[in-house]
Amino acid sequence: MQHFQGLDSLIKGVVGKEINEWVSVNIEQLQKCVITSDYYIFPEDEIWALDESQVYENEHGDELPVEFKDQNLERWLEVGDIEGVISYLSHYHGTPNLMQIAEALQYYYENDAFTGLES
């Protein structure tokens, strides 16, 4: 399991690292502030290795460690999606700032599409 405090920490921790996993987050916290939210990666092989009593399934069908149940986590985006959004922004804006990345990631999550920031 990996825990990242804030979006900047998540980006530095996963971009370019060839991690093919889901990022989980408390969506309510995320909607308040994408930049300061806590992000988690629970590798599937680690989840599968847990005893059945150590895993719970949330209302979205995500299997997560039971010790995180009170945090109301759910899958948000895959690491590859995050990298794709940043690459897309970089193509049109050079090096995007953290706020542009935050807005683009949230747009991608809500619309399953890249933003219209290309102009």
Mind listing the pLDDT tens digit for each residue in 80-105?
999 999 999 998 878 999 999 999 99
In a 3-state reduction of DSSP, which class is residue 42? coil
pLDDT band at 15 (very low <50, low <70, confident <90, very high): confident
The backbone torsions φ and ψ at residue 60, rounded to the nearest 5 degrees and listed phi first, read -100, 0
Mind listing the pLDDT tens digit for each residue in 72-84?
999 999 999 999 9
* Amino acid at site 87: S
The average pLDDT across 2-11 equals: 96
The H-or-E segment that residue 38 falls in is strand 38-41
**Number of neighbours of residue 9 by Cβ within 10 angstroms:** 14
